């Protein structure tokens, strides 16, 4: 009876919440005044993929109360967010976030794209929805994390996903293949193929085939090398973005009075009692007012790979040297925090075509008549190029080093001759160096095999082919430059500190030149503009790469790695921070080595698994 009474009182309180926060569509959006009067079991920092997925799953238990603190606002359902062909991430990216100058590139600071909005990266990303080679996950397991191998994660990939098969006629025409047993159909995040391709897609497909690159049945099978069609986080009924805000907030919120979200609020630091996390100090971004909130069970840090380490350091958890330098009182000396930063490198090759096909991806950028005409098609039939993320293509070639270049052995030999310590900053903690040495051994062994890709090649059918270099050996870092939590962290991509990364890019580049030489591409009359057909020596090509490589694809990761303490680790295999209590990390920071593919599908699966781990830890129930 007493319990029931408490529950009723809780319910009344929550209805008061709805009243107080002028609900509209988002009834559980709360203000500080409500937060101050509520007791939370879990406080989650960051309402991105990791944060919202865990918040959704934990609040399936009606006895659990959760608060998500999110730096950004809700999106307003703009076309730029929802409609793939109207894609524009910029309004919801953190606008002023730049790295330190990158001497390996042009020695300029580089923009760091980070979603700053409810849904995080999933609200602004290019909707690539893909898993990675089974060797990626099996390697994570081999670093002391038994539950994180590919077969352990498969059930969580399936749980997270609602896969819709393409129309069979269209699939046959466009060579879309998939293996249903690898997919889920009951999960919250839609996965489907754009029902449109430009005619040039066929030329790229045929050129790749004529070079002997095999068609891949399903890149989500654990086998990711070959030629395939890209799956997207796309709702197949409306042909609009499927993202964490809809999948893990809007979908459930009407029945979850126990799920609170406070937007436009920055988490400043974690509050500790000894080694136990007990709450969060947050800042209203409008008023600057600073408030504390208590978490009776756990604080879950999910602010992404750039901001999670910043928040830890500001809280007194990180390399002691840094904490001392800023006079931050030490809670726990953890040398790995903010080390091991990685991202994918993009290189754009541009062409002039004398006989390209109409329409192609460029028409959606520069032909106003076509754009207007196709918008009507989309609005009336949900078909056409507006179902495809602007400027991207559907066809992908993903290759291991050995298939990208016959020179693979010399690339490996020169990588092996590099002293790992020379790639990390002087004075790097020995445990962090030990971890990096283990990573290099793992990667170089995989580079000698056929399963782990080094990159992807995709022609968008217009003027651009993008090379995605996905297995860098270089490492960067995240630290603080100020104790003010609203000041951006100091981020170093460490781009191409290891020159092997340029060898890997070169291998992809030369393979792409071979693709372009095939008859089915030559009929389109391509002339390479950037870097230019006359740029041919390895050294000149590498110089060209340094001039225009973008050191990020928005896939920042790995700054709080899940490896043992002796290897510079920050979290253990159940996502708890080493040496601390009541603190978990659930975001893209935890991977030791950057994943081969775009990370969103894996972060959803990680967070599904994290929710199960945390529920088990506290004996919570599922919905």
Ligand X SMILES: *[C@@H]1O[C@H](CO)[C@@H](O)[C@H](O)[C@H]1NC(C)=O
Ligand Y SMILES: Cc1cc2nc3c(=O)[nH]c(=O)nc-3n(C[C@H](O)[C@H](O)[C@H](O)COP(=O)(O)OP(=O)(O)OC[C@H]3O[C@@H](n4cnc5c(N)ncnc54)[C@H](O)[C@@H]3O)c2cc1C
529 contacts ligand X (rule: CB under 6 A) = yes
Cross-strand bridge partners of residue 119: none
Q: Which residues of 457-481 are buried (b: 16+ CB within 10 A; e: fewer)?
A: bbbbbbbbbbbbbbbbbbbbbbbbe
HEC secondary structure over 506-517: HHHHHHHHHHHH
One DSSP character per residue, 251-304 reads: HHHTT-TTEEEE-SEEEEEEEEETTEEEEEEEEETTT--EEEEEEEEEEEE-SH
d(CA 193, CA 175): 12
Question: Per CB under 6 A, does 292 bind ligand X?
Answer: yes
Tell me whether residue 138 or residue 528 sits nearer to ligand X (CB atom). 528
**Is 252 within any annotated ligand binding site?**
no
Q: Do the beta carbons of residue 395 and residue 216 sit within 8 Å?
A: no
- How many other β-carbons are positioned within 10 Å of the β-carbon of residue 270? 26
Least spacing, CB of residue 51 vs ligand Y, in Å: 6
Give the interface size with ligand X as a residue count (CB under 6 A).
53
DSSP 119-135: TTHHHHS--B-----HH
Residues 165-224 that bind ligand X (CB under 6 A): 174-175, 186, 190, 201-202, 205-206, 209, 213-214
C-beta of 115 vs 336, nearer to ligand Y: 115
3-state DSSP assignment of residue 4 = helix
In this chain, which of 329, 354, 369, 380 binds ligand X, going by CB under 6 A? 369
Binder of ligand Y out of 302, 457, 524, 575 (CB under 6 A): 302
SS3 250: helix
Beta bridge partners of 341: 476
For residue 421, the minimal CB distance to ligand X (Å) is: 9
User: Under rule CB under 6 A, which residues in 380-419 are in contact with ligand X?
Assistant: 399, 403
Q: State which residue has the least CB distance to ligand Y.
A: 48
φ and ψ of 387, to 5 deg: -85, 0
Please give the size of the binding site for ligand Y, defined by CB under 6 A: 39
Residues 143 to 172 in contact with ligand X, rule: CB under 6 A: 162, 164
Stretch that binds ligand Y, among 66-74, 98-106, 422-430, 446-454 (CB under 6 A): 66-74
CA 50 – CA 52 distance, rounded (Å): 6
| Residue 145 CB, nearest approach to ligand X (Å) | 28
From CA 534, how far away is CA 259, in angstroms rounded?
59
- Confirm or reject binding of residue 295 to ligand Y (CB under 6 A): no
Q: State the residue for tokens 């007493």.
A: 2
Nearer to ligand X, 181 or 286 (CB): 286
Sites for ligand Y among residues 526-585 (CB under 6 A):
554-555
Question: Which option in ligand X, ligand Y, none does residue 411 bind, with CB closer than 5 to 8 A by kind?
Answer: none
* Binding partner selected for residue 373 from ligand X, ligand Y, none, CB under the kind-specific 5 to 8 Å limit: ligand X
Q: For residue 6, is it left (φ>0), alpha (ψ between -120 and 50) or beta?
A: alpha
> Which of residues 367, 518, 548, 572 is near ligand X by CB under 6 A?
367
Cα–Cα distance measured from residue 126 to residue 302, given in angstroms and rounded to the nearest whole number: 21
Nearer to ligand Y, 496 or 586 (CB): 586
Give me the least distance between CB of 475 and ligand X, in Å please: 15
Whole-angstrom Cα Rg for the chain:
24
Per the annotation, binding residues for FAD are 117
User: Contact positions toward ligand Y, by CB under 6 A?
Assistant: 45-50, 69-72, 89, 113-116, 120-122, 124-128, 266-267, 302-304, 307, 311, 554-555, 587-588, 598-601, 603
User: Contact positions toward ligand X, by CB under 6 A?
Assistant: 3, 31-33, 36-37, 61-63, 162, 164, 174-175, 186, 190, 201-202, 205-206, 209, 213-214, 225-226, 236-237, 262, 265, 271, 281, 284, 286-287, 292, 326-327, 352, 358, 367, 369-370, 373, 399, 403, 426, 450, 527, 529, 532, 534-535, 540, 621
């Amino acid at each position: 009876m007493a319990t029931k009474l408490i529950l009723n009182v809780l319910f009344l309180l929550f209805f008061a919440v709805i009243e107080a926060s002028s609900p509209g569509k988002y009834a559980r959006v709360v203000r500080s005044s409500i937060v101050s009067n509520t007791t939370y079991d879990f406080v989650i920092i960051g309402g991105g993929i990791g944060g919202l997925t865990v918040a959704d799953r934990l609040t399936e238990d009606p006895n659990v109360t959760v608060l998500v603190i999110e730096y950004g606002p809700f999106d307003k359902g703009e076309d730029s967010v929802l409609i793939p062909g109207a894609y524009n991430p910029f309004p919801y990216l953190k606008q002023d976030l730049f790295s330190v100058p990158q001497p390996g590139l042009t020695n300029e600071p580089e923009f760091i794209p980070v979603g700053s909005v409810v849904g995080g990266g999933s609200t602004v990303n290019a909707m690539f929805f893909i898993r990675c080679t089974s060797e990626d996950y099996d390697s994570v397991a081999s670093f002391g994390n038994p539950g994180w191998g590919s077969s352990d994660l498969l059930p969580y990939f399936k749980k997270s996903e609602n896969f819709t098969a393409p129309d069979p006629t269209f699939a046959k025409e466009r060579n879309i293949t998939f293996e249903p047993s690898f997919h889920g159909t009951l999960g919250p995040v839609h996965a489907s193929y754009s029902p449109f391709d430009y005619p040039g897609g066929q030329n790229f497909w045929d050129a790749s085939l004529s070079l002997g690159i095999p068609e891949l049945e399903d890149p989500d099978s654990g086998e990711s090398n070959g030629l395939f069609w890209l799956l997207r986080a796309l709702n197949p009924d409306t042909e609009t973005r499927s993202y964490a805000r809809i999948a893990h907030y809007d979908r459930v919120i009407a029945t979850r009075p126990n799920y609170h979200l406070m937007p436009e609020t920055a988490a400043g630091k974690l509050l500790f009692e000894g080694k136990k996390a007990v709450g969060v100090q947050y800042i209203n971004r409008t008023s600057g007012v600073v408030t504390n909130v208590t978490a009776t069970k756990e604080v879950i840090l999910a602010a992404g790979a750039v901001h999670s380490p910043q928040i830890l350091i500001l809280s007194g958890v990180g390399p002691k040297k840094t904490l001392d330098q800023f006079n931050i009182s030490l809670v726990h000396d953890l040398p790995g925090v903010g080390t091991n930063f990685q991202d994918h490198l993009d290189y754009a090759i541009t062409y002039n075509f004398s006989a390209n096909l109409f329409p192609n991806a460029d028409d959606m950028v520069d032909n106003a008549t076509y754009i207007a005409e196709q918008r009507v098609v989309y609005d009336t039939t949900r078909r056409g190029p507006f179902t495809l993320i602007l400027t991207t293509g559907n066809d992908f070639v993903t290759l291991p080093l050995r298939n990208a270049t016959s020179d693979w052995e010399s690339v490996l030999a020169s990588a092996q001759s590099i002293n790992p310590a020379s790639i990390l900053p002087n004075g790097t903690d020995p445990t962090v160096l030990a971890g990096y040495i283990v990573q290099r051994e793992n990667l170089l062994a995989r580079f000698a095999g056929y399963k782990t890709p080094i990159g992807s090649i995709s022609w968008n059918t217009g003027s651009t082919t993008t090379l995605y270099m996905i297995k860098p050996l270089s490492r960067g870092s995240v630290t603080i430059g100020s104790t003010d939590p609203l000041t951006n962290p100091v981020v170093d991509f460490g781009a191409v500190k290891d020159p092997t990364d340029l060898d890997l890019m070169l291998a992809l580049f030369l393979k792409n030149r071979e693709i372009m030489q095939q008859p089915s591409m030559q009929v389109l009359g391509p002339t390479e503009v950037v870097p230019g057909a006359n740029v041919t020596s390895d050294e000149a090509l590498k110089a060209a790469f340094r001039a225009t490589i973008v050191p990020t694809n928005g896939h920042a990761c790995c700054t709080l790695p899940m490896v043992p303490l002796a290897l510079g680790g920050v979290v253990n295999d159940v996502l708890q921070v080493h040496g601390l209590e009541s603190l978990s990390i659930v975001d893209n920071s935890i991977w030791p080595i950057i994943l081969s593919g775009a990370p969103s599908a894996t972060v959803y699966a990680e967070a599904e698994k994290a929710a199960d781990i945390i529920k088990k830890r506290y004996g919570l129930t599922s919905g």
